[in-house]
């Protein structure tokens, strides 16, 4: 269905030719491009029907990253749409990563990561690496269990570092509230400080695994 040159009518009003189809490595969603139509599919369901960026009249290519960032090439040029980012929060996270990491942590190699959302009161994993399961323990609180645990260090405690993000844009946002060998407990809160379930959340972990 999503193959280039596929002979199927998607949402285009004039052609059945598929110009481009790309899978997002984070969410597993697919962005499918036709000359007058571009859709983001979650499985076989259309999640978003895009319109051509200002100045263009026909689509040519599309690229999706994490559901919220879209790059589009049309007959007029290249356009990108990205979600808002709290620059101060990102800067503080980078600064703390440089200043507080235990010795030996290699930030070029993530040892575990997970992207999940809340569906029917449960944590549903959309994509992951070295993650066995996700368990919602209460509103805004989720345990992410590793397939291969991290090591302990007698001198410095746990030998890994975790960065988290979520769809909730607030003063509190989200944090790794509990860091264990076999899991990380993630908290998400709104501007009032109340724990709340996000539409999506992500965690990435660096460090040394038990089998290394």
DSSP annotation string for the chain: --STT-----S-SS-----EEEE-TTT--EEEEETTEEEEEETTEEEEEE-PPTT-SSEEEEEEETTTEEEEEESS-EEEE-----HHHHHHHHHHHHHHPPTT--TTSEEEEEEEEEETTEEEEEEEESEEEEEEEETTEEEEEESSPBPEETTTEE-EEEEEEES--SSSEEEEEEE-SSEEEEEEE-TTS-B---S-EEEEEEE-BTT-
Q: How far apart are CA 179 and CA 185, in angstroms?
A: 6
Give the pLDDT score at 58: 92
Closest by Cα among 175, 143, 174, 180 to 159: 180
- Return all residues near 137 (Cβ < 8 A) that are at least 6 apart: 143, 185
Q: How far apart are CA 185 and CA 169, in angstroms?
A: 19
Closest by Cα among 61, 56, 21 to 41: 21
Instruction: pLDDT tens for the chain, 212 residues: list them.
Output: 666 666 666 777 777 788 888 988 778 889 999 998 899 988 888 888 899 998 899 999 998 887 678 889 999 999 988 766 666 666 666 666 555 555 566 667 889 999 998 877 889 999 999 999 999 999 889 999 999 998 875 444 555 677 787 777 766 667 777 778 888 888 888 888 888 888 888 889 888 888 87
The pTM of the whole model exceeds 0.75: no
Q: How far apart are CA 198 and CA 110, in angstroms?
A: 23
Size of the chain, expressed as the number of residues it contains: 212
Report domain extents, the chain. 20-81, 87-207
Give the pLDDT score at 144: 92
Closest by Cα among 65, 59, 95 to 78: 59
Chain center to CA of 2: 22
Closest by Cα among 137, 105, 102 to 122: 137
């Amino acid at each position: 269905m999503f193959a280039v040159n596929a002979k199927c009518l998607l949402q285009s009003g004039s052609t059945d030719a598929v110009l481009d189809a790309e899978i997002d490595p984070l969410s597993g969603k697919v962005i499918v491009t036709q000359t007058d139509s571009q859709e983001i599919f979650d499985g076989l369901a259309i999640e978003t029907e895009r319109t051509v960026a200002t100045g263009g009249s026909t689509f040519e290519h599309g690229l999706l990253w994490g559901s919220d960032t879209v790059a589009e090439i049309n007959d007029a040029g290249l356009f990108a749409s990205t979600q808002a980012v709290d620059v101060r929060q990102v800067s503080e996270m980078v600064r703390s990563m440089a200043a507080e990491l235990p010795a030996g942590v290699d930030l070029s190699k993530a040892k575990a990561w997970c992207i999940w959302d809340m569906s029917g009161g449960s944590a549903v994993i959309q994509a992951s690496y070295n993650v066995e399961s996700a368990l919602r323990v209460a509103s805004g609180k989720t345990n992410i269990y590793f397939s291969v645990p991290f090591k302990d260090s007698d001198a410095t405690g746990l030998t890994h570092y975790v960065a988290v993000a979520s769809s909730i844009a607030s003063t509190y946002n989200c944090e790794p509230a509990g860091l264990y060998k076999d899991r990380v407990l993630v908290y998400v809160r709104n501007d009032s400080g109340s724990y709340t379930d996000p539409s999506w959340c992500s965690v990435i972990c660096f460090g040394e695994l038990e089998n290394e």
